[in-house]
A = this chain, B = another copy of it.
């Protein structure tokens, strides 16, 4: 029999993380601490991580995210929710970086088009990984953005993000909202150079 904490059940999830860089490892540590089961995949083992997870997280470098997903057997992806955390930053032309995809398209949309069997939710791509898993590292009110075509998938992701400590999660609508958050990289990179990684956006209103 399961002991419920805080009066509600926080179900343990099986989560497959694509990408063993700083972002993937930081998220894996947080998710494990929260009681979830996690498998990290890297080149050669992306499919194993995808096959393991009921929920997937794309944490590869944005320029390689599509190749990572292409290397997964289709049955490891079908019907699953994928949180797309990457940005299509291209550092190959020097600094400041450009975006490989932007303006009339985005990485999130590109993944959703090529993998219609996934429910892609763009989220967490506007914060450094230290802030992703511990929003209290940044002072005052600050917000997270999500975008995706599936309301159910966004609801499940929102619940997971709330367990990370996120309070204000702004739903930008369908996956075209990924254009709005990936292009925040232009100012984020500049602010990062001025203030370091512990920064985030807040939308002030009337």
CB of A123 to closest CB in B, whole Å: 14
Tell me the minimal C-beta distance from A177 to chain B in angstroms. Answer: 6
A190 / chain B contacts, CB cutoff of 8 Å: 172-173, 177, 180
Nearest-Cβ distance from residue A139 to partner chain B, whole angstroms:
6
What range describes how many residues of A lie at the interface?
A: 35 or more
Q: How far is the CB of A201 from chain B (nearest CB, A)?
A: 6
Please report the C-alpha to C-alpha distance between residue A205 and residue B198 in the assembled complex, in whole angstroms. Answer: 6
CA distance A140 to B143 in the complex (A): 14
The residues of A with any CB-CB pair to B shorter than 8 Å are 93, 96, 98-99, 102-104, 137-142, 145, 170, 172-173, 176-177, 179-181, 183-184, 186-187, 189-191, 194-196, 198-206
This protein's copies in its complex: 2
Given contacts A200-B204, A205-B139, whether A98 and B93 have CB atoms under 8 Å apart is no
* 25 A-B residue pairs with CB within 8 Å: A96-B179, A99-B103, A102-B102, A102-B103, A137-B206, A138-B204, A138-B206, A140-B204, A141-B204, A172-B190, A172-B194, A177-B190, A183-B183, A183-B184, A183-B186, A183-B187, A195-B205, A198-B205, A198-B206, A199-B204, A199-B205, A200-B203, A201-B203, A201-B204, A202-B202
